[in-house]
Chain A
Amino acid sequence: MVEESGGVTKDAPKIPPFTRDQELTAFREMLLIRRFEEKAGQLYGMGVIGGFCHLYIGQEAVVVGVKMAARDGDQFTTSYRDHGHMLASGMEPKRVMAELAGRRGGYSKGKGGSMHMFSRAANFYGGHGIVGAPAPIGAGVAFANLYRGDDRVSLTFFGEGASNQGQVYEAFNMAALWKLPVVFIVENNRYAMGTEISRASAQTDFSKRGAAFAIPGKQIDGMDVRIVKAAADEAIDWCRKGNGPYLIEAQTYRYRGHSMSDPAKYRSKEEVQKMREEHDPIEQVRARLIADGVSEDELKKIDANARKIVSEAADFAVADKEPDPSELWTDVLA
Chain B
Amino acid sequence: MSVNVLMPALSPTMEQGKLAKWLKSEGDEVKAGDVIAEIETDKATMEVEAVDEGVLARILVPGGTENVAVNTPIAVIAEEGESVADTADHAPMARVGEEDKAEKQAEVAAPLKPAIEVAAPAPKAPSVAEQPSATIAPEVPEGTAMISMTMREALRDAMAEEMRRDPSVFVIGEEVAEYQGAYKVTQGLLQEFGAKRVVDTPITEYGFAGVGVGAAFAGLRPIVEFMTFNFSMQAIDHIVNSAAKTLYMSGGQINCPIVFRGPNGAAARVAAQHSQDYTAWYSQVPGLIVIAPSNASDAKGLLKAAIRDNNPVVFLENEILYGKTSDVPALEDFVLPIGKARIARPGKDVTLVSFSIGMTYALHAADELAKEGIEAEVIDLRTVRPMDIATVIESVKKTGRCVAIEEGWPQCGVCAEIAMRVQQEAFDYLDAPVLRVTGKDTPMPYAANLEKLALPSAAEIVTAAKAVLYR
Residues of A within 8 A of B (CB): 38, 41-42, 44-48, 50-52, 99, 101-104, 108, 110-113, 115-116, 128-132, 161-162, 164-167, 192-195, 199-201, 255-257, 260-266, 269, 276, 314, 318-319, 322-323, 325, 327-329, 332
Contacts and interface: CB of A to CB of B under 8 A. Distances in A.
Interface residues of B, number: 61
A52 B274 CA distance: 10
A42 B230 CA distance: 28
B12 A50 contact: yes
B195 to A, nearest CB: 10
Contact of B71 (A47, A102, A319): A47
B231 interface: yes
Interface string B83-95: 0000000000011
B29 interface: no
Contacts, number: 186
A319 B8 contact: no
B202 A164 contact: yes
B179 A195 contact: yes
A110 B445 contact: yes
A328 B446 contact: no
Interface in B181-214: 182, 200-204, 206-207
Nearest to B14: A261
Contacts of B12: 50-52, 261
A328 B207 contact: no
Contacts of A262: 46
A318 B96 CA distance: 7
B202 A200 contact: yes
Given A162-B203, A323-B450, A328-B445, A45 B9 contact: yes
From B6, B48, B231, B269, residue with most partner A Cβ within 10 Å: B269
A113 B271 contact: yes
B8 A327 contact: no
A266 B178 contact: yes
A116 to B, nearest CB: 6
Nearest to A256: B49
A186 B49 CA distance: 28
A129 B49 CA distance: 26
A116 B203 contact: no
A115 B445 CA distance: 12
Nearest to A194: B179
B453 A325 contact: yes
B98 A319 contact: yes
B149 interface: no
A42 B51 contact: yes
Contact of B203 (A44, A99, A103, A165): A165
A166 B35 CA distance: 38
A47 B9 contact: yes
A328 B51 contact: no
Nearest to A199: B200
Given A263-B44, A332-B442, A50 B203 contact: no
12 contacts: A44-B9, A50-B9, A51-B12, A51-B270, A166-B206, A193-B175, A193-B182, A261-B41, A266-B178, A314-B95, A318-B97, A322-B449
A200 B70 contact: no
Contacts of A112: 271-272, 446
A266 B179 contact: yes
Contacts of B406: none
